[in-house]
Structure 1
Amino acid sequence: MPRSPRARALGAELRRLRRVAGISQRELAARVGIAHSQISRIETGDRTPSEPDVSGMLGALGITGPEREQLLAMTRTSDDAAWWESDPSYGLPRQLSTLIDYERRATRITDVATLFIPGLLQTAAYARAVMEVCHVPERDISTRVATRLGRQGLLNNPSIHYEALIDEILIRRRVGSFETMSEQLSHLLQLTERPNVTLRIIPLAAGAHIGLDAGHLLLEFETIGPIVHLEARNTAGFLREEHSVEDFRHVAKVLRSIALEPAESKERINRCREEVDAKSWEL
């Protein structure tokens, strides 16, 4: 069974806090009074932590105030597919809730990415690094990372086909640490094994291309017309007019024609990961 998005998000955040504190898993386990194996499983998301688990870990790490309360609130929330929408204290933009609903109902999603690795493909560490560089308030980051990971649950639905057209610069631009990038690229490689997920890299050799002016998300459905989602910094919107949607559909078609085939894309991602691991990363 796939790990729950909430468990993954909490685990990633608790691991980050432990590393910031400079404490090993064994030392934390001893302080909390639980088995080392439990700490490991919580941090990887293989075990959904209880509120006492999280409370004990946060106490041992010296986490207090709003950050502690936010993580405990996340722990208490159910694992329903829409858990992030069930509590108004999360304060998510209304358009994000609408996007989440559209993503669940879609049968095909085409993601054109020219700024960052698509949100539906990001690891927790990469998502956090993106939010930090974009100056998202620290108090909001944990919730937003968890929300982003929660959205990724739709990739477990075999009836939804997801295709990402990713500019090669995005797998070569360091976001966060080398470790963060290595984990992110490894995650992309794992996703290429899913039958309903297609990743295609737009190579740097293609030069300037039609997708550079705006990334977008094209959502297609069984019973309603396609919709395009656009996002730029602190604003976002949806396009439904046929001529506008067709324009973005054309962009995706052109990019598909210049992108590497899926197998070649996988090789390119793997080569980049090897360069990251060897710290010999070059454009």
Structure 2
Amino acid sequence: MRRSATLIGISAIAVLASGCSSGSEDQAADGKEQTTSAASSPAPAVDAGREVRAAVDTTKQSTARIDDRIRLHGMGQDYTITVKGPFDMKADRGSLKVSLAQTGASPNGAVLDEVFHGNTVYFRMPEEMNGDTGWRSASRDEAEVHALLRAPLNDPEFVLRQVSMAHSLTAAGEEKVNGVPARHYTGKLDHKPLALRMVKERREQVEEAMAMIGDELPATADVWVTEDGLITRVLLVCDLAGMKMSSTMNLTDAGKPVTVASPPDSAQAVPAASAGGALLG
């Protein structure tokens, strides 16, 4: 299921980079700079961390249409991975279509289909160079991360788990996001969520790099929560020594019924450790 050494290498470069700072992707959510004003009017103290964690718990009991855009650019490279589809987080079922495009490359459009059923994820490449378009399956809980800001098997609930581990969260005002009013929270990510479930080799490289940076790792997490207590957008950003990474996950159509195809009968089970590469996280 691995596409090419070049694409996988881009993820490896991002993992191995040795410095982080929040970049211009902080403006990507609504085309506005995200700031927290120290001069805002006095208000009762709120536990932003508790509110975000509560929103994560509420969102995981609902349904949503996922639209996640992961971008890696810098060092002469520019890749965008999109993950789209309906997902029932309470029932652990969903259908996702994953695509990868390289700016300036032609043709674009490497695509992966995924079906989530409980603890099993089914996936296939509609087009393979060797003609093999058969379905594979792997354990959702055992799948690992191969690069920063990627979720194993593109699992949207993994992104929510990372958000729940953000620290130094503060309220940053109210905005209209995805057509609805939402409270904006901003915080930081340390090595724990960034290296969560990462493959051993990559995790050791990340931990070594982070040890050089120190405790104040400037990787950021921004979250928008609706009046119903549901997360409608997550923005994760890290700029690693010239390789900028961002993940913007929008969750819309909250609470709407989700229909998922039945699991493919002929799917070949593969070890979760083998489910890696640019499209699988």
Q: Same fold (TM over 0.5)?
A: no
Q: Which TM-score tier does this pair reach, normalised by the shorter chain?
A: under 0.3
Of structures 1 and 2, the one scoring higher in RCO (CA 8 A, sep 6+) is: 2
Q: How does the TM-score come out when normalised to structure 1?
A: 0.23
Q: How does the TM-score come out when normalised to structure 2?
A: 0.23
Q: Flag the structure with higher strand content.
A: 2
Q: Flag the structure with higher helix content.
A: 1
